[in-house]
Amino acid sequence: MIRRRAFLASLLAAGAAPSLSWADAGSPAYLAAAREGDGGFALFGLDRGGASTFRVPLPARGHAGAGHPTRAEAVAFARRPGAYALVLDCVQGAVLHRLTPPEGRQFNGHGVYAQGGAVLFTAEQASADSAGVVGVWDVEAGYRRIGEFATGGIGPHDLRLMPDARTLVVANGGIATDPTDRTKLNIPQMRPNLSYLDLTGALLDQVELAPDLHRNSIRHLALRDDGLVGFAMQWEGDEGAATPLLGLHRRGASPLLAEAPLGDELLMRGYAGSIAFAGDGAELAISSPRGGRLHRFSDGGDFLGAVPRADVCGLASLDAGYLASDGLGGLIAVTPEGARALARHPVAWDNHIVALAGGTRPF
């Protein structure tokens, strides 16, 4: 453990090698994967007006990604069960590295850079029993696998770097899946949690929900600069249960569950696909492609309203509101005053929009 910590510190000291910056890739504020009209897949850079700044073809459907904090370099993760991730040069459109998880591990769709971009952390699970693992990759050494540690739960999905830059927060979804497909194996026993780990893997804090909500899979995360964590959930219990799908947590305090009025909650169909804070941090939103709507909440958990849009899923911070993407190609700016279409691309946007450093907020 100590050796790894010393090693990480030395990486930080080394700093990033000079390379092409995001400005060379057209200064995108966001990354988003999509299926194109011809059935192929690609990763796009988007500016704050919804225009595409670059496009890199992908060999298959992507899920989420992570942007390097300084270099025009992005990791695109395959969908679960992920056998690979691609490190892309977003200026040249070239594949720089192909990351493969070690034997017995699979990527779970999300990852995050840390230590100024010297290290990449990936959300993974053990193929055998879905035990959660954070994979550690040495970016400067050409994305070499240098270690791993436990996430403190089953089936982790999203993970983020806290604003202190020294703590990871992981959404352990709690669902064990078949290693060859996505069949869920343990729904009656699932126990999701939110775990805080230091960068060497020491478990600092762990939050579970009340027992009657043990089927509420904690899957996606959004962070505010002051350390407030929003978590979005997906209900694996009976349809129509109308359980809360958004939680707010601050380390050292109890989680707060944010509920919409019954009618609105039912329309979400027990499913939140993405989560983001508004650009000014005053509120946050979750999206439901199944319900074709997004829900806005105050940072105190009060319901602020719904915005309808078919097949909406991707969400990121934009100004005093959000950028929302959907399967019809739409990029919609949502503010407290209403929704406005920014652009419509001839693609189907995938589940997530990733905000880049220098974009709305760094991660």
Partner 1 sequence: MTRTLALALTLVASPALADVPNALTTHLLPGFHAFSTASTALAASARQDCRAEAVQPAYQAAFDAWMAVGDLRIGPSEQGALSIAFWPDDRGFTGRTLSRMIAASDPAVNDPATFAEVSIAARGFFALDMLLYDPAFAYEPGSYPCTLVQAVAEDLAAQAEALETTWAGKFTEALTNPGAPDNALYLTEEEALRAVYTQLLAGLEMTADSRLGRPMGSFERPRPRLAEAWRSGRSLRNVVLSVEAAQALAHALADWDLPQTDAAVAQVHFAAGNIDDGSFQDVTDAVHRLHLEALQQAVRAVRAALEIEIGERLGIAPGFNSQDGD
Residue 324, helix vs strand vs coil? strand
Instruction: State yes or no: residue 264 binds partner 1 (CB under 8 A).
Output: yes
Cβ proximity of 334 and 321 under 8 Å: yes
Residue with tokens 């809360």: 244
Cα–Cα dist 4/12, whole Å: 12
Least distance to partner 1 from the beta carbon of 15, Å? 35
Least distance to partner 1 from the beta carbon of 240, Å? 5
Size of the site for partner 1 (CB under 8 A): 45
Cα–Cα dist 323/355, whole Å: 10
Of the residues 44, 196, 235, 271, which one makes contact with partner 1 according to CB under 8 A = 271
Instruction: State yes or no: residue 155 binds partner 1 (CB under 8 A).
Output: no
Least distance to partner 1 from the beta carbon of 192, Å? 15
Least distance to partner 1 from the beta carbon of 119, Å? 25
CA-based torsion, 119, 120, 123, 124: positive or negative: negative
Of the residues 130, 234, 317, 360, which one makes contact with partner 1 according to CB under 8 A = 234
The DSSP annotation for 22-55 comes to GGGGT--SEEEEEEETTS-EEEEEE-TTS-EEEE
Instruction: State yes or no: residue 178 binds partner 1 (CB under 8 A).
Output: no
Cα–Cα dist 132/111, whole Å: 13
Instruction: State yes or no: residue 63 binds partner 1 (CB under 8 A).
Output: yes
Of the residues 153, 279, 327, 359, which one makes contact with partner 1 according to CB under 8 A = 327
CB under 8 A: which stretch of 1-9, 94-102, 144-152, 288-296 binds partner 1?
288-296
* x-marked contacts with partner 1 along 70-109 as a string, rule CB under 8 A: ---------xx----------------------------x
Q: Strand 193-198: give its sheet, edge to edge.
A: 156-161, 167-172, 193-198, 203-207
Least distance to partner 1 from the beta carbon of 261, Å? 8
Q: Which of the 8 DSSP states describes residue 236?
A: -
Centroid of chain to Cα 64: 6
Of the residues 23, 212, 310, 336, which one makes contact with partner 1 according to CB under 8 A = 310
Instruction: State yes or no: residue 309 binds partner 1 (CB under 8 A).
Output: yes
Closest CA to 84 of 102, 69, 67: 102
| CB closer to partner 1, 292 vs 359 | 292
| CB closer to partner 1, 63 vs 68 | 63
Q: What is the largest CA-CA distance in the chain?
A: 54
Cα–Cα dist 48/91, whole Å: 18
Least distance to partner 1 from the beta carbon of 330, Å? 5
Instruction: State yes or no: residue 267 binds partner 1 (CB under 8 A).
Output: yes
Q: Which of the 8 DSSP states describes residue 359?
A: S
Instruction: State yes or no: residue 35 binds partner 1 (CB under 8 A).
Output: yes
Number of other CB atoms surrounding residue 49 within 10 Å: 12
Amino acid at 232: A
Instruction: State yes or no: residue 51 binds partner 1 (CB under 8 A).
Output: no
Of the residues 67, 111, 273, 321, which one makes contact with partner 1 according to CB under 8 A = 273
Cα–Cα dist 76/351, whole Å: 13
Cα–Cα dist 354/76, whole Å: 10
Of the residues 2, 239, 254, 300, which one makes contact with partner 1 according to CB under 8 A = 239
Q: Which of the 8 DSSP states describes residue 174?
A: -
235: phi then psi, degrees, rounded to nearest 5: -80, 125
Least distance to partner 1 from the beta carbon of 76, Å? 14
CB under 8 A: which stretch of 19-27, 90-98, 117-125, 303-311 binds partner 1?
303-311
> Which positions touch partner 1 (CB under 8 A)?
35, 63, 79-80, 109, 157, 219, 234, 238-241, 262-264, 266-267, 271, 273, 289-290, 292-293, 306-313, 326-328, 330, 332, 338-341, 344, 348-351
